[in-house]
Amino acid sequence: QKEVEQDPGPLSVPEGAIVSLNCTYSNSAFQYFMWYRQYSRKGPELLMYTYSSGNKEDGRFTAQVDKSSKYISLFIRDSQPSDSATYLCAMSGIQGAQKLVFGQGTRLTINP
Amino acid sequence: NAGVTQTPKFQVLKTGQSMTLQCAQDMNHEYMSWYRQDPGMGLRLIHYSVGAGITDQGEVPNGYNVSRSTTEDFPLRLLSAAPSQTSVYFCASSGDRAGEKLFFGSGTQLSVL
């Protein structure tokens, strides 16, 4: 069983829809949670960063962490065609990036 | 402001050849790392460095060497290329202590025949 599970999709939704992307994990030591966005043929870019449980909002994006369920989510409101990309969750414990584990990524397409 | 620069963008090697993937960052970041990205596998850490002169192994280090002689540069060497090393390679750097907030380069697409 992988430490981090992420549905690879692909996921296709109409413009303006609310998108929900999710990851589950098995390591209870994880305490730093991130979402990266990767456009085709580009490197990933950090989208959201949260520590421990709770919600974090940044514009149309909301990240949620539920450590009791070992479940994290990324919500995209009013989705735009420019949001079409692969979204990767990532998480680590106190060791930081030395033990940063990525999900396999969900490919998202927003249709105009 | 260049960020993280990787060269080359594409490379084709024959089995057994060696080569070096270059990575440079201009953000004065102490932490640098190399990942490979394969379909269905996500990003996997190959090697990392927490500062000049300090390197360590990640999840999949076999067949790769690194060195860190300066803060800016972190080259990745393939000693004897194998088809299993066909992948997209990303270099990343971070300025925060734990290194989670990574800045990635644009990647090198490597094919080993």
A46 interfacial to chain B (CB closer than 8 Å): yes
Mean pLDDT of A46-53: 89
Say if the Cβ atoms of B94 and A97 lie within 8 Å: yes
Distance from CA of B50 to the nearest CA of A (A): 9
- The pLDDT, as a whole number, for residue B1 is 66
**Owner of token pair 């025949």:** B113
B94 interfacial to chain A (CB closer than 8 Å): yes
Q: Which chain A residues are Cβ-neighbours of B33 within 8 angstroms?
A: 97
Residues 66-85 of B with CB under 8 A from A: none
**Smallest Cβ distance to B45: which of A88, A100, A103?**
A100
C-beta separation of A11 from A56 below 8 A: no
**Smallest Cβ distance to A97: which of B42, B98, B106?**
B98
For B1-63, strand residue ranges (E) read 4-7, 10-13, 19-25, 31-38, 42-51, 54-57
Mean pLDDT of A43-51: 92
What phi and psi, each to the nearest 5 degrees, are found at residue A98? -60, -25
In chain B, whose CA is at the least distance from the CA of A90? B100
A92 interfacial to chain B (CB closer than 8 Å): yes
In chain B, whose CA is at the least distance from the CA of A94? B98
- The pLDDT, as a whole number, for residue B41 is 80
Say if the Cβ atoms of A97 and B99 lie within 8 Å: yes
Q: What is the pLDDT along chain B (113 residues), one digit of tens a residue?
A: 679 999 999 999 999 999 999 999 999 999 999 999 998 788 999 999 989 999 999 989 999 999 999 999 999 999 999 999 999 999 999 987 666 689 999 999 999 99
A90 interfacial to chain B (CB closer than 8 Å): yes
Q: Which of A43, A44, A45, A67 is nearest to A54 (CA)?
A: A67
Instruction: State the Cα–Cα distance between residues B13 and B110, nearest whole angstrom.
Output: 8
**Six-digit token string for A51:** 């520590």
- H or E segment to which residue A62 belongs: strand A61-66
Give the residue with greater pLDDT, B2 vs A15: A15
Q: What is the three-state SS of B47-82?
A: EEEEECCEEEECCCCCCEEECCCCCCECCEEECCCC
Distance from CA of B43 to the nearest CA of A (A): 6
Instruction: State the Cα–Cα distance between residues A84 and A79, nearest whole angstrom.
Output: 9
Does A85 have pLDDT greater than 70? yes
